[in-house]
Chain A
Amino acid sequence: MSSDKQAHKLYDKEGKAIKDRPWIFRTYAGHTNVWASNELYRSNLGKGQTGLSIALDLPTQCGYSSDHDIARPEIGKVGVPINSLDDMKVLFDQIPLDQMNTSMTINGTSMWLLALYVALAEEQGVDIADLKGTTQNDLIKEYLARGTYIFPPEDSIRLIVDMYEYCLHNIPSWNASNICSYHLQEAGATPVQELAFALTTAITILDAIRDRGCFNEEEFERCVGRISYFVNAGMRFVEEVCKMRAFCEMWDEITTERYGVKNPKYRRFRYGVQVNSLGLTEEQPENNAWRILIETLGVTLSRNARCRALQLPAWNEALSLPRPWDQQWSIRLQQILAYETDLLEYPDLFEGSHVVESKVNDLKEQAYAEINKILDMGGGVEAVKTGYMKTSLVTSQGERMTKLVNGEQVVVGKNKWTEGIESPLVKGSDGGIFMVDADAAQRTIDALNKTRSERDPARAEAALKRLAEEAAQGVNLMEASIECAKARVTTGEWSDTLRAAFGEFRPPTGVDGQALNIENDTLTAVRKKVETFIETHGYRPRIVVGKPGLDGHSNGAEMIAVAARHTGFDVIYFGIRLSAVDIVQSALEENVDVIGISLLSGSHNEITDQLFEELEKHGAREAIPVILGGIIPTPDFDALYDKGIKRIFTPKDFDLMSVMSEIIDVINEQKRA
C-alpha cells in the first residue's frame, strides 16, 4: 500500500488520499449593548458559525462600570459593555454555553469575565467542565502594545496563574490565556521581536506557574499544552511563512528543554491569527483587499505551521469599524482560499527547501539571542518595568515610519502611485463608515442601576470583602470572583477592590531617547520655522501630546511626540489613559503653545467637548490651540472645527515632517491672533 503513496498527496491512516479540514473562520464581534450583541451572535450562529469571538468595550476591558465618568464616551463603542451577571445573561440568551467555543478579547479584567461566564453556567445548571473557550489574558503585551492593563505586572501575573490553576482543575478545555504577538507587530515589532517577546511572555507565565508548584508533573505538561498563541502576519509573506515555522520549532525546543515536556502533543504550537492591519491604508482603501489576501498566505501556506483559526480585518480598516458587509467580504476571502483552491490537498510545501530552512534558522538565531538577553536582564516582568521591550517597539515603529516617509518601503497608493480613480466603494450612502447608536448606552446604564437596586446588598458587600481579604492573603481569587459575580457585584466594584489591594501601574512610554532618521527638505524647512519662532519669541515651541480616555492606541501619539522633538519642539508626553482634566492641567502647568490630542477609539466627539469645557473653566479655551489626530471620520470634521479644533490629521498624514510643519503654522496663527 505504502509503496503507492505519492509525496504530493495527503493520506489518512487507512491510506486513503484526503484533504485537510480548513482552519476556523472567525469574526470578532460585539458592540452597542448586550441586546444588540446577543442578536448579532445568534444571527451569526444561525449562519453556521460555530464559535463566538467576543469584543468588549473599553470600560469593561479597563475595569470601569458604564456609569463611571471615564466610561461614558466609550460605552459600546468598540465592543459590548458588561457590568454584571445580569448583562452576561442577556448576552448569552438562547445560546447553549456547553456547545459554544467562546473566545473573549479581555485582559485586565479577564478573571472577572471568566468568573461571570462560570457563574452564568452554574446558574443555568451547565456543568462547567464542559465549557470551552479562551480569555486573552496576556498582560505583558498590554503594557507593551495594547493598553488595557490595570494592576502592576507581578499582580497581573498572579491573576493569570490563578486562572491556569483554576481552569486546569475545573474547566480543562479553557485556555486561561493566549500569548499574543499580534499586537506587538501592530505596535511595530519586527518578526524577530515578535518571536522573542511572545516566547519570553510564555516563558514568564510558565515559570510563574512552575514556581507556584500547584501542579504535579502530568498536570504541568497538560498546562503547557493549554498555552496557545495569537499571532500576526504582514505583507512580507515569505518571511511570515518562515516566522511561523520558526515559532513552531522554537516552542517545541523551549517546552522540551526548559520544561521537559515529554508528550509531543503538549509541545505543539497552537495558534490563531489576525493578519496585519497596521499596514492597511486610508488612501485607496480598496487596495487593502489584496493586502489582506497576501497576508493570509503567510499563515496558511505551510501545512506544518498552519493557523488553527483566522480572523481578517476589512478593506476599510483605516476608516472605521467594519460593517456586516465588510466582514462578509473578508469571510468570503477565507472561504475562497479554503474551498476553491487546492491548498488543503498537499503535505507541507516547504519541507526540504534550503531557502526556507536557512531563513527559519536565521530568524531563530536572532530571536534566541534576544530572548536570552531579556532573560539575563531578569525576565519578562523586569523588561516591562524597565521599558526595555517597549522602547524597542517604539524604535521599530519609528524605523517603519521613517521608511515610509523616505520611500524606502513602497506602499502603493500611499507613497507611490498615489494618483488614481476614486473607488466607488467609499461612495456608499454612509461613506463606508459604521456608527454606533449613542442612545443605546442609556439602556446599559439603566440595567446597571436595576442590578444595583435589586441585588442583596449584604451578599455583595460580603463578596467584595472576601475578595479583598483573599487578595491580601495570596489565595487563588477565582472562587471569590465567582461569588462576586453571583452576588451581582459590578465590573467597577470588582476592579476597584483589586485596585485597592494591588495598586495601579503605568508602564514606561518608551519614547525617551528615541530619534528618527529623517533628514529631508521638509525637515530643514520645519527646523527653520522653529528657529524663527525661537528668535521671535525667545523660547522653543512647547507641545503636549495627550491621549485622553481609555483609548490604548499609542503608536500615533508616540510618533508625533518623537517627530516633534526631532524638529526641535519641547514635548510633554506622559502616556495613555489620561482624563481630559489631566491633559488640560498639564497643558496649563507646562504653558504649552498647542495641545495635540490623539484618538482612535471613536470617542473624539465626546472627548473634544470635555477638553474644551475644561479649558473654558480655566479661561484658556481661546488661548491654547487644540489639534486632533487619529481615526476621525470625514463626516465629523465640520462639527469638530466648529467646536474649535484647529487641524485634524488622519492616517494618510504619514509624512511626519509635513504634520509638524502644519503644527508650527497653527502656533504661529495663534500668536498672530
Chain B
Amino acid sequence: MPLSQQHTLLQELESIHQAMDAPLDPTTHDLLHQAAQLEKWPIAQLISIFERNNTESLIKRHAITRYMDTHPDLFGKQACIFGVTGTPGAGKSSLIGELCLSLLEQQPDISIAVLAIDPSSQSSGGALLGDRTRTQFPVNNKQVFFRSQASHLDLGGMGKATFHVMRLLRKFFDVVMIETVGIGQSEIEVQRLSDHTMLVMQPLAGDQVQFMKAGIMEVPDTFVINKCDEDALAKKSRHLLKASLKLAQIHLSGDEAEQAIFMTSATQRKGIREVAEYLLKVCSVDRPDNFDEQEVYFRNKWIREAYGEFGLGVFEHFKDKAELSRGTFEEKELAYKQLMANFLTKLK
C-alpha cells in the first residue's frame, strides 16, 4: 500500500474515533426505547445495525452499546441463550416453534427471540430464509420475535453478525434461541454464543455416527431426538443414542442422562413440554456471564479473517496496550485497526 494511502487510512480511523464520541442520535435513541418495550420493528431495525458491515453501523453499534450499558434499568436483561443445532431437516425450526409456544404457556410473561440462520448460496451470495415456515406463533405478540439471518458464507454458518446480534438481543429478551445448520464448525461456534447447546437429531438416521466421527458428541449439553412420532421409535432411539454416547466415551451418570436426552415429536407435540420445563430450569439457575470470553473468541476470529495468523501475532505482542481492551467491542476493534495501520506505516 502506498504511504499516502496509509496516511488517509489513519486519518479515516481517527475521524471514526472522533465520531464515536458523539452521543446517541435521537432516531436511534427512540428506537432503543421502543425496542425496550419489545416493539418489533424497532428491534428489527436495531438488529440490522448490528448486522451491517459499514462504518456508519460500527459507530452506531458503539453508541447503542454504550447507551445500553449506562441504562441498566431499561436494558438490564441477560437472556438465557440456547443454541439449537443439528443436521438439515432434523426438525430444528419446528421444534423451536413448539418449544416457544410451550415456554409461553408455562411462563406467560416470558419474552423470547429466535435467530434462525440459513446457508447462503455459493454462487450468488443470496439466501433463501425459510425457517419461518415451520413456526406458528401468535401474530402481533411482542413476547415472541423471529428473525432470519443468512450465513453469508461465514465458516460455520455464524460469524461476526451473529455475535453482534446476540449482543443486542440478550439485553431485550429472557430467552434467545439460535438455530444453525450443518455438522462441524457451527456446533462449536454456537456453543461459544450459547449458555446451553442442544443437538437435534433424527431417529435411527445414522446422525449419531456422523457426529461421533466429527467429534461433535462432546459439544452439546442436551441431545434431542426429534421425529419420535411413535413411542416405540422413541424408546429405540434413546437406546441407540445411549450406546453411541458410550462408544464416544461420554459418560453421563444416570440422572444426567435422564436430563440430557430428550425424545420429541414436533409435529405431534410430544415431549415438548419436558424440554421446555428443562430449559426453564436451566434459565433459572445462575449463569456465569461468559460474554467476555465470547468477545475474545469473535475478536480473534475477526482478526484472523482480516489479517491472518500474522494479525493475531501482532495482537498477542501488543495485548497489554490498554486501548485494546477498553470500552465497547467497536472501540477495541478500532484501536486494533489503528494499531495495525500504524504498524504497517512504520514497516514502510
Q: Which residues in chain A, 380-432, are within 8 Å of chain B measured between CB atoms? A: 386
Contact B56 A538 (CB under 8 A): yes
What is the CA–CA distance of A579 and B150 in the complex, to the nearest angstrom? 25
Contact A585 B126 (CB under 8 A): no
Q: Name the residue of chain A whose CB is nearest to the CB of B51.
A: A539
What is the CA–CA distance of A71 and B56 in the complex, to the nearest angstrom? 46
Contact A570 B150 (CB under 8 A): yes
Q: A539-B52, A589-B146 are in contact. Are A570 and B129 (CB under 8 A)?
A: yes
What is the CA–CA distance of A527 and B121 in the complex, to the nearest angstrom? 13
At the interface, yes or no: A590 with Cβ under 8 Å from chain B? yes
Q: A574-B133, A579-B139 are in contact. Are A538 and B57 (CB under 8 A)?
A: yes
Contact B124 A566 (CB under 8 A): yes
Q: Name the residue of chain B whose CB is nearest to the CB of A624.
A: B41
Contact A571 B53 (CB under 8 A): no
Stretch at the interface among B42-50, B64-72, B192-200: B42-50
Contact with B along A537-572 (1 / 0, CB 8 A): 111100000000000000000000110111111111
At the interface, yes or no: A509 with Cβ under 8 Å from chain B? yes
Contact B48 A572 (CB under 8 A): no
Contact A511 B41 (CB under 8 A): no
Contact A538 B145 (CB under 8 A): no
Q: Name the residue of chain B whose CB is nearest to the CB of A526.
A: B124
At the interface, yes or no: B128 with Cβ under 8 Å from chain A? yes
Q: Which residues in chain B, 165-184, are within 8 Å of chain A measured between CB atoms? A: none
At the interface, yes or no: B132 with Cβ under 8 Å from chain A? yes
Contact A588 B40 (CB under 8 A): yes
What is the CA–CA distance of A506 and B266 in the complex, to the nearest angstrom? 13
Chain A residues near B130: list those with CB within 8 A: 509, 511-512, 572-574
What is the CA–CA distance of A48 and B52 in the complex, to the nearest angstrom? 68
Q: A538-B57, A540-B152, A588-B40 are in contact. Are A561 and B128 (CB under 8 A)?
A: yes
Contact of A538 among B47, B52, B89, B129 (CB under 8 A): B52
At the interface, yes or no: B148 with Cβ under 8 Å from chain A? yes
Contact A538 B53 (CB under 8 A): yes
Q: Is the interface of B mostly helix, strand, loop or mixed?
A: mixed
Chain A residues near B51: list those with CB within 8 A: 539
Q: A582-B139, A589-B44, A589-B147 are in contact. Are A565 and B52 (CB under 8 A)?
A: no
Chain A residues near B48: list those with CB within 8 A: 539, 591
Q: How many residues of B contact A (CB 8 A)?
A: 37
What is the CA–CA distance of A509 and B133 in the complex, to the nearest angstrom? 8
Contact A591 B45 (CB under 8 A): yes
Contact A527 B40 (CB under 8 A): no
Using a Cβ cutoff of 8 Å, how many contacts connect chains A and B?
103
At the interface, yes or no: A651 with Cβ under 8 Å from chain B? no
Chain B residues near A579: list those with CB within 8 A: 139
Contact B126 A567 (CB under 8 A): yes
Q: A538-B57, A572-B148 are in contact. Are A564 and B126 (CB under 8 A)?
A: yes
Contact of A512 among B45, B125, B128, B136 (CB under 8 A): B128
Contact B127 A571 (CB under 8 A): yes
Contact of A571 among B54, B89, B128, B136 (CB under 8 A): B128
Contact A573 B128 (CB under 8 A): yes
Q: Which residues in chain A, 498-523, are within 8 Å of chain B measured between CB atoms? A: 506, 508-509, 511-515
Chain A residues near B124: list those with CB within 8 A: 527, 565-568
Contact B126 A569 (CB under 8 A): yes
Chain B residues near A472: list those with CB within 8 A: none
Chain B residues near A566: list those with CB within 8 A: 121, 124, 126
Contact A540 B150 (CB under 8 A): yes
Most chain A Cβ neighbours within 10 Å, of B48, B128, B148, B152: B128
Q: Name the residue of chain A whose CB is nearest to the CB of B52.
A: A538
Contact B40 A571 (CB under 8 A): no
Chain A residues near B44: list those with CB within 8 A: 588-591
Chain B residues near A619: list those with CB within 8 A: 41
Instruction: Show the binding face of B for A, using Cβ within 8 Å.
Output: 40-41, 43-45, 47-48, 51-54, 56-57, 89, 120-121, 123-130, 132-134, 136, 139-140, 145-148, 150, 152, 267
Starting from the known contacts A568-B126, A579-B139, A585-B140, 20 additional A-B residue pairs (CB-CB under 8 Å) come to A152-B267, A509-B133, A515-B121, A530-B125, A538-B52, A539-B53, A540-B126, A561-B128, A567-B124, A570-B150, A571-B128, A573-B129, A581-B139, A581-B140, A585-B40, A589-B40, A589-B145, A591-B48, A618-B41, A619-B41
* 7 closest A-B pairs by CB: A538-B54, A565-B126, A591-B44, A538-B52, A588-B41, A574-B133, A574-B132
